[in-house]
Amino acid sequence: MNTQVDKLIYVGDPMCSWCWGFAPEIESLADDYPVEVVVGGLRPGPSAQPLDDRMAVFLSDHWVEIKERTGQPFDTAFLDRRDGWMYDTEPAAIAVTLVREIDEPSTLDYFTTVQHAFYADGRDITDFDVLADLTGDLDIDQHSFREQLESDRAKKMAWADFSRSRNWGIGGFPALIGGLSDGQLALLARGWTEADLIRTSINSVEEAAVG
């Protein structure tokens, strides 16, 4: 039996700007393959950084670059409104892993919704209230979800994902791994990559498995 790519494992972070740029590509691939979302942990908890003037300028330039490259919308005005705000990616990662546990098929949609809220709408997705509100289109009890966001169990799920991605050797996001029908894993893309190029990588992996 030929070895096929049965699923895609998307390692990303809702607060990774290149991951937001990658959103149309992974959504295109999700039309053909089931996608498992694993949060990689960009600046979680102890690694969080304050949004000072220097960081705001860096991010603004970076976001403009990604917008020009990918066409994705960015609200750079957000960077001017956050005195003392911490760029902490842990809360959003916790929310994504919790949605995955409750309603796994909705994980990628929620991941993208959180990204859009941050990058295009300028909402503060380090706020658990905002993250709970963003489940509005899902079949999830928002009150229960909001309570669970602050639980040690939900936090441990997110940090287990961070460890999992590191064990795969993933240090930057986005990254895409193919789950093969023989149980093996194959790295398909590291960094922003067009969907058509990833499809070419999938074909190459499958052809190599046959050979």
- Residue-by-residue DSSP string for 66-88: HHHHH-----GGGGGS-TT-EE-
- Residue-by-residue DSSP string for 97-155: HHHHHH-GGGHHHHHHHHHHHHHTT---TTSHHHHHHTTTTSS--HHHHHHHHTSHHHH
In the block, which residue shows the tokens 């190599």?
208
Structural domain spans, the chain = 5-210
Measure Cα distances from 121 to 107, 113, 152, 163, 192 in Å. 20, 10, 29, 30, 22
Task: Give the DSSP letter of residue 60.
Answer: H
Higher pLDDT, 206 or 133: 133
Query: How confident is the model at residue 210, as a pLDDT?
Result: 67
Average pLDDT value for the chain: 95
In the numeric block, which tokens belong to residue 46?
């102890």
197 by DSSP, 3-state: which? helix
> Residues 164-191: what's their mean pLDDT?
95
The rounded distance, in Å, linking the Cα atoms of 4 and 182 is 8
Indicate the helix (H) or strand (E) that contains 11: strand 5-12
Reported confidence tier of residue 178, pLDDT bands at 50, 70, 90:
very high
The rounded distance, in Å, linking the Cα atoms of 204 and 164 is 25
Q: Is pLDDT of 18 > 80?
A: yes
Percent of the residues in the chain that have a pLDDT greater than 70, as a whole number: 98
Q: How many CA atoms lie within 13 A of 110 on its CB side?
A: 32
Reported confidence tier of residue 1, pLDDT bands at 50, 70, 90:
low
Residue partners of 124: CB distance under 8 A and separation at least 6:
82, 85, 118, 130
- The verdict on whether omega for the bond into residue 174 sits within 30 degrees of 0, i.e. cis, is yes
Q: Is pLDDT of 99 > 70?
A: yes
Q: What dotted CATH number matches 5-210?
A: 3.40.30.10
Give buried/exposed letters for 69-87 (b at 16+ CB in 10 A, else e): ebebebebebbeeeeebeb
pLDDT digit string (tens) for 24-68? 999 999 999 999 999 999 999 999 999 998 999 999 999 999 999
> Residues 120-126: what's their mean pLDDT?
96
